[in-house]
Structure 1
Amino acid sequence: MRIGWKSFTLGAVAGAAGALFAQKAVTSSPTVAAEKVLARVKEAFNKEGIIEGSWIQMKPEQYQKLGIDTTVYKGGISRRRDGELEQYEFIADASTGTIMDVYRLS
């Protein structure tokens, strides 16, 4: 059985396209919705004081710490605790929604 060069070329192109599609499917990781991450942070903060305001960047961004690269959401929250306004910023992993860091601003 002989395979012509046209059949071979068509098969090679189809195989390459399939490999490229499979690679994109494996390497692209879905992200948790930014609104879900913010709701999780607000739920945690609400236990210790009344929330005055909150925000989150809707578009995830690359973040590097200690040589580890990941995609994150950044956001902030302010609350009243014992009559005093406290402001915090947070960093959350975009693929899992896990809060990676929280720090007080004021």
Structure 2
Amino acid sequence: MSKKGIGSLIVAGTVLAAGAAATVLVKHHLDSEKIIDKVKSVLGEDSKVIGSWVEPFYQRVDVNGRATWGIVGGVTTMDDFDVAQYHFIADALTGELLNIKKVQ
């Protein structure tokens, strides 16, 4: 194979890898927004969410002895001048909220 052919293969491979990475990042962002909406729903209308965060990448998590890919994050709420933080784990494949707990 010529140098030109090898260069073309390298460029094509790089473009494919970059496209796949961009797709994963966009999917992660959209999934994160949906999961934060679910967390808000679970906490109820009385809880005013004043902040939220989500880890930037999917993570391997173990919830109740079950290993899966997860989205990990948290929300901060304010109720009548009480500020509280909640951490959550959601299944990255299904969007199911696996765990949510108030941080002391």
TM-score by shorter chain over 0.5: yes
- 1:12-50 residue CA offsets vs partner (Å, 9 max, x unmatched): xxxxxxxxxxxxxxxxxx977222212222343351221
What is the root-mean-square deviation of aligned Cα atoms in Å? Answer: 2.2
Quote the offset at 1:58 in angstroms.
3.1
Q: Do 1:49 and 1:80's aligned partners in 2 also have CA atoms closer than 8 Å?
A: yes
For normalisation by structure 2, the TM-score amounts to 0.62
Percent identity, aligned pairs only? 27
Task: Report the number of matched residues.
Answer: 77
1:86 maps to 84
The code of the aligned residue for 1:94 comes to A
What is the TM-score of this pair, normalised by structure 1? Answer: 0.61
Q: From the two aligned structures, give the one with the greater helix fraction.
A: 2
Which of the numbers 58, 66, 69 marks the counterpart of 1:68?
Answer: 66
Once the two structures are superposed, what CA deviation does each residue of 1:63-89 show, in whole Å capped at 9, x if it has no partner? 123432111010100111132101110
Q: In the alignment, residue 71 of structure 1 is paired with which amino acid?
A: W
Q: Tell me, in whole angstroms, the C-alpha distance in 2 between the residues paired with 1:103 and 1:66.
A: 14
Residue identity matched to 2:99: D
Larger radius of gyration: 1
Q: Work out the CA distance in 1 between the residues paired with 2:64 and 2:39.
A: 24
Runs (5+) with no aligned partner, structure 2: 1-26
SS for the counterpart of 1:97 is coil
1:96 aligns with 2:94: yes
